Amino acid sequence: MKYGHFDDRNKEYIIQKPDTPYPWINYLGSEEFFGLISNTAGGYSFYKDASKRRLTRYRYNNVPTDAGGRYYYIYEKGEYFSPAWAPQKSNLDSYQCRHGLGYTIIESEKNLLKTEMKFFVPLGDNLEIHQIKIKNLSNEHRKIKLFSFLEFCLYDAEDDMTNFQRNFNTGEVEVDGSTIYHKTEYRERRNHYSFYTVNQEISGFDTDRESFLGLYNSFSNPDVLKTGESNNSIAHGWSPIGSHSLEIELNAGQEKEFIFQLGYIENKEEEKWESKGVINKNKAKKLISKYNSSDKVNKAFKKLSKHWEKLLSSFSIKHPDPKLERMVNIWNQYQNMVTYNLARSASYFESGISRGIGFRDSNQDLLGSAHMIPERVKKRIKDLASTQFEDGSAFHQYQPLTKKGNDKIGSGFNDDPLWLIFAVAAYIKETGDYEILKETVPFNNGKKATIFDHLEASFMHVVNNLGPHNLPLIGHADWNDCLNLSAFSEKPGESFQTVSNKDNSPAESVMIAGMFLTAGPDFVHLSRKMNKNKLAKKAEMALEEMKAAVNKYGRDDEWFVRAYDYYSKPLGTKDNKYAKIFIEPQGFCIMGGIGLKDGFAEKTLDSVNRKLNSEHGLMILDPTIKEYQINMGEVSSYPPGYKENGAIFCHNNPWIMIAETIIGNGERAFEYYSKIAPAYREDISKLHRTEPYVYAQMIAGKDAASFGEAKNSWLTGTAAWNFVAISQWMLGIRPDFDGLKIDPCIPAEWDEYTVIRKFRGCKFKINVKNPKNINKGVEKIFVDGKEIEGQLLKTHDKDESKVEVIMG
């Protein structure tokens, strides 16, 4: 069942039923101010950090779901309704929500009133705009009222939902004309406040939640809407809100427009006050005036649209399959930008409280955004490197507001260091900017270091932390946070990721070994570029030793072993009762070059297809674990078929897609791609539940009661890795240190496709023809009509070049 459709021309997903299987959301903002907005205007807003600078309140896991948001009510003659459907669940005559790139538009009709609400964050400023149009479709003159409503969060989102003995006494506001200022704690330790305003004279306001709603009412039936009159309440503690009431007269056929703004302001300490107890509003008034008319807002929206058009112009495909086009050209790259901005910090599944910017997460996300925002990627690499310890380990997360490591999670995830090599190599392959290696970024302890020093520390962290089989020690966990081989947790509520009941654990990870072999050759190349030839030779020897260890201890009969536990017993072998095969090492060991010469790679991938493939994608392990295994940790705490215990963990499906292209199996690679790509799952939206335009982290596996149901959408490394898999390995347009490598691996039935790829100042129009209908192989490449040797497009002075690729 479908709840809407794609509008590829306008780059929108149009939702036509408000009661979607789960709230389908979008993201507003692309710099420092962000908002999450659902298809019925739910969600919340924040500045930089969803934990420490939350502007509006949202209730996770609430009944009804999606409680809290940007609510508007239209009142007429004693009756009222919500033009966004929520929170009243209004019986609208028509409804549609258009989620676009950085904006959402909700349109509806009821009682011959047409409403359009456009929500977006303009570039360069810290505020959210709500552009609202109301049109009278009747033949009569009408008098209506428009009420706004949002609930202020007291900035620290965790404290806001727990510390009521304090918070119910601290709330403070000011009202000046049509602007409501939220200034809780501004009188003491804060130098920031938020505001909510409208560009019209108001007939009333409320800033106290109980006065607006009534103590025992919900958002759907506020007291104020029973009378149609605001109370002009001023919040003193309790729960501050922002609500305006506007009296509106509309002639027959007339439309009026209103601009609401929710913004964030910081003042210098010496400029905090206008007068005693009155906040300095100069910055706010200046910002408000910048967007206080339709012309100004329309100009800002056009600028936002051009911004996204430019970002998406770096890579696009023309192909007979519209689902492939919309994923590659629009939604996958859009999701890549959202994950770049927020890592795993703020979604409808991540509360924005417990997680900051992840070291592993962001380094992977950069793989999908380096072609769009290389300068911002460079800056993020430096931020990430600054959280690294001198021994190569790193804080697992850092807080975006302070850019300091998150002590709650700490370090000890032994895959983390290697992801920095992946990210830096990807950036250099994209830009050719080797100078980044010389840039100074201190270690976490303040010791001076270059980016290359950080990469050396990352590489050597593996070399210096090997176990009894010469395989990398796993630490708390590797990429699979739930494979906790040293936790041995027996207490409810203990964090599997931070508790370690087995000191000096010898548990090892074959997956990290595969990562080491995959990223290692890039480190060798960069070492030579830095004229560190002795280090390069040392690294090559370490790679050879690791390859030998994997070949000796990392293979089962028909696939790669996953790990060795605390007792040095292998996991992920045919002899295990559960979890005989895991997906992760199968992809990375083949990417690292293991098994390509002796046929073991083909045998491994046949095993993956036979044991892990399902109609909804590749499962992370099989068979699922049926009872808690104390030596395996959180992976065994999930019911069979969910999350790391046998779900289709979409993040690692692309590693198998890439492995399949390495051995030349284009059919299987694209089969796996199309099983989890959201546009291909749109027809089963009722089962899938989450948004049909962005990837989810996981889809319930075959042992789950809800096989095929997705969870944890939007913020997932699935986005970047699937873009890498489809763009670089299947379509075969792959950045390399010396140019753009052309190496497609596609289904044999594909006859032709064209890719536009901007690369190092040149726009390449690459037409790939497959006259012999093969999976892999390039016979000839012509650049501007001249045949070249090899498969590498070198950069040159031309702004544009036409490339013809003949497979064969």
Pick the catalytic residue: 481, 522, 556, 736? 481
**Could you give phi then psi for residue 118, rounded to 5 degrees?**
-110, 130
| Cβ pair 553, 471 in contact under 8 A | yes
Handedness of CA 781, 785, 789, 795 (dihedral sign): negative
| Cβ-proximal residues to 547 (8 Å cutoff; 6+ apart), any chain | 517, 592, 593, 594
| Cβ-proximal residues to 478 (8 Å cutoff; 6+ apart), any chain | 413, 414, 415, 509, 511, 512, 563, 584
Handedness of CA 157, 158, 159, 165 (dihedral sign): positive
- d(C-alpha 205, C-alpha 237), whole Å: 17
| Cβ-proximal residues to 770 (8 Å cutoff; 6+ apart), any chain | 744, 746, 748, 750, 751, 752, 807
What residue has token string 């009756």?
79
- d(C-alpha 471, C-alpha 511), whole Å: 9
Question: Which neighbouring-strand residues pair with 26?
Answer: 37
- What's the DSSP call for residue 485? T
| Chain-centre distance for alpha carbon 334 | 9
Decide if 503 is catalytic: no
Put residue 721 in one of left, alpha, beta given phi > 0 → left and psi -120 to 50 → alpha: alpha
List the one residue out of 689, 699, 696 whose CA is nearest residue 712. 696
What residue has token string 């497009």?
793
Angle between helices 584-591 and 600-611 (to 10 degrees): 160
Q: Is 5 helix (H, G, I), strand (E, B) or coil?
A: strand
- d(C-alpha 391, C-alpha 443), whole Å: 9
Measured CA distances, 710 to 671, 694, 697 (Å): 19, 11, 8
Please, how many CA atoms are within 13 Å of residue 779, restricted to the half-sphere of its CB? 11
| Cβ pair 683, 690 in contact under 8 A | no
Active site residues: 481
